[in-house]
A and B are shown apart, each in its own frame.
Chain A
Amino acid sequence: EMVMTQSPATLSVSPGERATLSCRASQSVSSNLAWYQQKPGQAPRLLIYGASTRAIGIPARFSGSGSGTEFTLTISSLQSEDFAVYYCQQYNNWPPIFTFGPGTKVDIK
């Protein structure tokens, strides 16, 4: 069974600072990893797919890296609109059980 873990559970950051979020898969997912942002009362929004490719309309301050089992989402300079919960998701499995991580909440320090 594929298990996704994320750390930290909560990250307190000041506006303008850099935020680094981690995601780990229990087995290799190659580069089949996506990152989502979710704000209260809203549906998730795709930020990154293929571990490092920004989705359409996503600002350049969001970047993804990693492959295999270790992945990172970096927000280079946090803006007020970036305070949210971030989820990683693997889409490598067959059968396709595309597991989400438990999320990292980024809040204002």
Chain B
Amino acid sequence: EVQLVESGGGLIQSGGSLRLSCAASGLTVSNNYMAWVRQAPGKGLEWVSSLYSTGSTHYADSVKGRFIISRDNTKNTLYLQMNSLRGEDTAVYYCARSGTGYDYWGQGTLVTVSS
């Protein structure tokens, strides 16, 4: 059974940094295309970043230059390093595996950026 478990969210001041983790079981992160998707309170889904098995990374314009996606193969864990956080980054952050479409999702972790 595939499980993705996010952690690392919390309350952070504007301008601060936070690192989210997504621990995977039942799949190998390094062999899969993994993504972070966020959802601001009461809003829709927004793709944030993706990491291919090749190591290729991609970012939404809204986070480019501030967020870094990475993985630790030994821990089978996906990360999202978030720097220079802004109020508009407040959201639930989900990690997801992309097969055709995002077929496995974590439960999400809430990031709240206060001014």
Contact = CB atoms under 8 A, between A and B. Distances in A.
A100 B107 contact: no
Nearest to A34: B101
A14 to B, nearest CB: 25
B100 interface: yes
Contacts of B106: 43
B60 A100 contact: no
Interface residues of A, number: 25
Contacts, number: 61
Interface residues of B, number: 20
A41 B99 CA distance: 24
A89 B94 contact: no
Interface in B39-72: 44-47, 50, 58, 60
Interface of B: 35, 37, 44-47, 50, 58, 60, 94, 98-103, 105-108
